[in-house]
Structure 1
């Protein structure tokens, strides 16, 4: 993912659908914009909240990591 800007966890946390209009999540060090997903309205997807690294939580999800292919990568997590 060369060329993508790097963001801190604090910067990611602001993209939670509440503090800023963007809804971002991180997975395996890549930050994805899920703002257009109807499943992430208001920054919440079931028991998951946007603005966080969801790498560990994915093991409990009913889908695989391939779900992230639907979304644009906007950065990397520092």
Structure 2
């Protein structure tokens, strides 16, 4: 699985590049196909970052990530 740093993930925020990616529990997902992530924002959440600590505020469970393609692993660098 390809590995990405937080800085690389941050570039996939829907603003700097076309890709809209989010990380959850160390796995990076491509949420670009979702109409709910237009322009890299989903309600008060922003793409290009690790959303693990924010999921407790969401009205859904982590199963929501099952519908998105995994693009890599988030590493500490």
- State whether TM-score is above 0.5: yes
1:69 aligns with 2:53: no
**TM-score, normalised via structure 2 length:** 0.96
Question: Which 5+ residue runs of structure 1 have no aligned equivalent?
Answer: none
CA distance in 2, matches of 1:51, 1:17: 8
Q: Which residue of the other structure, out of 54, 59, 62, is the alignment partner of 1:57? A: 54
- How many residue pairs get matched? 75
Q: RMSD in angstroms over aligned alpha carbons? A: 0.3
Structure 2: stretches of 5+ with no match in the other structure: none
Deviations along 1:11-56, one digit per CA (max 9) or x if unpaired, are 0000000001000000000000000000000000000000000000
Which consecutive segments of 4 or more residues in structure 1 shift more than 3 A? none
Q: Distance in 2 between matches of 1:20 and 1:75?
A: 17
